[in-house]
Structure 1
Amino acid sequence: MPIRVDVATRDDISEIIASADALVATDAGRYDPDATDLGWAVRTGSAYATSLLASDDSLVLIARDGDAVIGHLVARMYGPGSVHPIRGAELESIHVYPEHRGRGSGEQLVNGFLAWAADRGAQRASVTAYADNEGAQRFYARLGFALKSVILDRDDLQDAEPRQT
């Protein structure tokens, strides 16, 4: 059966939360476990999904194989700002359940996001990936995303002594 990508509705909230929660557990939970709340879905998942669906500047896509939800994508528009006077779109999260990967559903989700962003006047589409998640970086590069910036974190602020330079 062909994979179908649809704009999510309120009827999809539980599937959005489940897919986003699976992403958090396997991505942030793996690459940034000390700064990840693995219980977020129970506490705030419904409010998160509801707010996304209510916003004209947000997109939630659901990938389906028949009636089964096999993944999701969340995106948001941003800008223009005073320093960066362009309209952009950020791919906030994407997840395809492991048993459904390699069949083009991730690419379909991203292409849906790119079309949505272009229709809203975005001049740039961006996405972040953990530095150690080489598979995600290869996936995004294959779809035309290029390295533009690097985020450096320092996680010892509560017990760190000032550094002398």
Structure 2
Amino acid sequence: MRNQISVAVHTDLDDLVRLESQLFSEDAGVHDPRVDVSWPTRHARDDFVRLIDLDSALVLVARREGVVVGHLVGYLTAPSATRFGRRTAEIRSLYVDSASRASGVGQALVGRFSAWARENDASSVSVASYAANHGARAFYSRLGFAEQSVVFQAVLGD
């Protein structure tokens, strides 16, 4: 089965919201109790409309046999003086439904995003992952990503 990666369009909005909701539930819902996992059902549609139309962002969908099974959302940063005037690219979210994992869908999405980042003069691609999400960390490591920094967090109470 061949994976088809394409730039998302407005007719993909229902699928994008569905996948983002699954991502929130399976990732943040497991690893961070302070994340509102219902956010995608209320706000993701408007957010995706904005991102689809934004030149500095890229929203991709992956299809297998015509069905949307994954998505990637990423964007470019502004050129930074501390990065020798170069910009970077950041993957904001990536999700592949469980039935399509380990089939090359995620790798194809990251590859397409990385090519777009290179075409837009980004010096690197980065992504954040929960430390406890060992599957995501192993996935990105297999694709050549290296851990660069650690974020420390102190919860201040409710």
**Counterpart Cα distance in 2 of 1:122 and 1:56:** 14
Aligned residue runs from structure 1 range 1-165, under 5 A? 1-33=1-33, 35-84=34-83, 85-156=85-156
Once the two structures are TM-superposed, the CA of residue 73 in structure 1 deviates from its matched residue by 0.3
User: Mean Cα displacement is larger for which, 10-19 or 82-91?
Assistant: 82-91
Identical counterparts, % of pairs: 36
The 8 Å contact of residues 90 and 125 in structure 2, kept in 1 or not, is answered as yes
Could you give the per-residue CA deviations for residues 45-67 of structure 1, whole angstroms, max 9, x where no partner exists? 11111011010011011010111
**Counterpart Cα distance in 2 of 1:40 and 1:140:** 25
Once the two structures are TM-superposed, the CA of residue 42 in structure 1 deviates from its matched residue by 2.4
Once the two structures are TM-superposed, the CA of residue 135 in structure 1 deviates from its matched residue by 1.0
What SS class does the counterpart of residue 114 from structure 1 fall into?
A: helix
What SS class does the counterpart of residue 86 from structure 2 fall into?
A: coil
Could you give the per-residue CA deviations for residues 97-135 of structure 1, whole angstroms, max 9, x where no partner exists? 011111100100000010010000000110011001111
Amino acid at match of 1:74: V
**Counterpart Cα distance in 2 of 1:83 and 1:102:** 37
Could you give the per-residue CA deviations for residues 33-89 of structure 1, whole angstroms, max 9, x where no partner exists? 2x2112112221111110110100110110101111111000010022343442000
Gaps of 5+ in 2: none
| Paired positions, count | 157
What SS class does the counterpart of residue 71 from structure 2 fall into?
A: strand
**Counterpart Cα distance in 2 of 1:3 and 1:105:** 6
Rg: which structure is higher? 1
What SS class does the counterpart of residue 123 from structure 1 fall into?
A: strand
**Counterpart Cα distance in 2 of 1:32 and 1:43:** 19
Gaps of 5+ in 1: 159-165
